[in-house]
Structure 1
Amino acid sequence: MNKAVFTLAVGLALAGCGNADRERAEQLQGVVSTLQSEVSALKAELETERNGAPRLLARAKDAKAAGDNASAKTGLADLIARYPEKAEAAAARTLLEGINNEEKAAEKDRLAAEARKAEEARVAIEKLDKSLKKDTDEIKGVTWISHKSEPVLANYMSLYFGVKDGTVSAYPLRMKFNYYADSWLFVESVTIKADDQVFNLNKMDFERDNAAGRIWEWSDSKVEDMAMLNKILSAKKVVVRYDGRQYYHDFVLPESQKSAMREMVLAWKRYGGKA
């Protein structure tokens, strides 16, 4: 084969390969285009499956059933915006209106409950004011507040406090014990049993006086332990023991005295006392 013929043969062979490659490339491009179209279609189907009107409505209903109204409302609004003409959008509008009405009714109930609570507080304060006794020290400018039901000649435990310039900030809640009998006990300490819990109030200073064959011994001290006081006021049974030099005297704290002390704590807090 001469050189010219060989060159021509090689050229034709190469030309033939080039045409085949182009054809294969074109075929592959067609396949890629087809696959891309199918992928796009699948993505559209997946999007419809994930965020189509039926699925959005179902998710909103699930959120409402779970008590998550905020998520339910967001989902319903999204459904209506995306698919305004769909039947699910109509259902979404109805459901959204129902949620809004429920929330309005709940808010109305909440406001009514707050109003009742405020009225109950007003009545309680009015009742409390009628139960308080106020004695003002004109020199010091302090008003001492106690309960009107506090006994005079009896065994009792009570609370009182002082108010100056409308606040108790400089005057802590105070606790009084009174022992009343016909013979001296010379009380040195107090032990209190509130249900199953015992509190020992040691080294208390008691003062004493007597008249007409009767004696009374009393103490007046700052409330140091509010947890103890709260336990006493909430207990079903409270026994107070006055421990004397040789003997002791027990008395069961009457419910009337516990009730009066509870009211005194409320009054103290009303004037700024911090429990």
Structure 2
Amino acid sequence: MNKIFLAFVFSLSLAACGQADKEYAAKLQQEVGRLQQEVDKLQREASTLRSELEEEKNGPARLLAKAKNEFSQDSLGLAKQTLGGLVERYPESGQAQSAKSMLADVNTKIEAAEKAARLEKAKAEEEKRRAIARLDANLRKRTDEIKGITWVSHKTEPVLANYMSLYFGTKEGSASNYPLRMKFNYYSDDWLFVKNVTIKADDQVFSLGGMDFERDNGSGSIWEWSDSKVSDFEMLSKILSAKKVVIRYDGRQYYHDFVLPESQKSAMRDVLLAWERYGGKP
């Protein structure tokens, strides 16, 4: 009998616990729902605040003021972009009407600036053409018909003499793919077998070691010469601007010095300028 009673009491307890769990779960669900509503409300308020901040930061009045500031500073591209964004985002606003009027002024100023740039470019190209024409009067051109390369040197470059000179190649009127080249020539009655060249430009000394010299002779005279691309433009600039330049050809046993004539420096300056005008770059 006691066992039956205990079982009955236990069943009642389980039923009571089950009912309590259901009530707790229902309350918990209600609380979760309430919290979710609060979260949704806060999110809506945050979104509203973001919109208000965005409006304050990038509203039509602020955008128009920003565009005016950009226009006053001649930042025409930025002003045009700002005004265009204003008209697109706030087409019905009063500022949009002002922006459209201002856009016309911006476009007019941009067109004027572009026209001025085109005229300046045309002027620079014409000056370049005239400069090349002036230089061409002093230049000698030889065209390799097979390779299609035109070699440009100075008309005053000596033949049978001690000298330093510059020259370059062009193709289809451009020297952009051809380096500036320099030549050294030793001319005498006796072989020197030049190995190195030392140059003193005013108080600065340059040593050009490891140079390859070719040799030839005829009619009792000999000449030795080298031909290489210019790799040190600072050295070249110093040579062309120096008051006195002494070039020493260091031979197998002896050496030979000669003072670079002003006429050769002047010729090299012409060739350097011509190379730059034809698109050559260091």
1:159 aligns with 2:152: no
**In 2, Cα distance between equivalents of 1:73 and 1:145:** 49
CA contact (8 A) 1:175 1:220 kept: no
1:37-73 Cα offsets, whole Å, 9 max, x none, are x959867754542333221212323444666533322
Q: Which residue matches 1:227?
A: 231
How much is the aligned-residue C-alpha RMSD, in angstroms? 4.7
Q: Which residue matches 1:198?
A: 206
CA shift, 1:103, in A, is 1.4
Indicate the structure whose relative CO is greater, using CA pairs within 8 Å and at least 6 residues apart: 2
User: 1:144–1:44: structure 2 CA closer, same or farther, 3 Å change rule?
Assistant: closer
Q: Which residue matches 1:101?
A: 108
Amino acid at match of 2:247: V
CA shift, 1:191, in A, is 0.9
CA contact (8 A) 2:248 2:255 kept: no
Amino acid at match of 1:234: S
Amino acid at match of 1:159: L
Amino acid at match of 2:257: H
State percent identity of aligned pairs: 45
CA contact (8 A) 2:150 2:170 kept: yes
Amino acid at match of 2:126: E
1:16-52 Cα offsets, whole Å, 9 max, x none, are xxxxxxxxxxxx9xxx9xx89x959867754542333
User: Matches of residues 22-37 of structure 1 in structure 2 within 5 Å?
Assistant: none
In structure 2, which of residues 116, 119, 129 is the aligned counterpart of residue 112 of structure 1?
Answer: 119
- In the superposition, the TM-score normalised over structure 2's length comes to 0.59
Q: Which residue matches 1:78?
A: 85
Q: Give the number of equivalent residue pairs.
A: 233
CA shift, 1:112, in A, is 1.0
CA shift, 1:124, in A, is 2.6
CA shift, 1:115, in A, is 0.5
Instruction: List gaps (5 residues or longer) in structure 1.
Output: 1-27
3-state DSSP of counterpart to 1:73: helix
CA shift, 1:166, in A, is 8.9
CA shift, 1:157, in A, is 0.8
**In 2, Cα distance between equivalents of 1:130 and 1:75:** 53
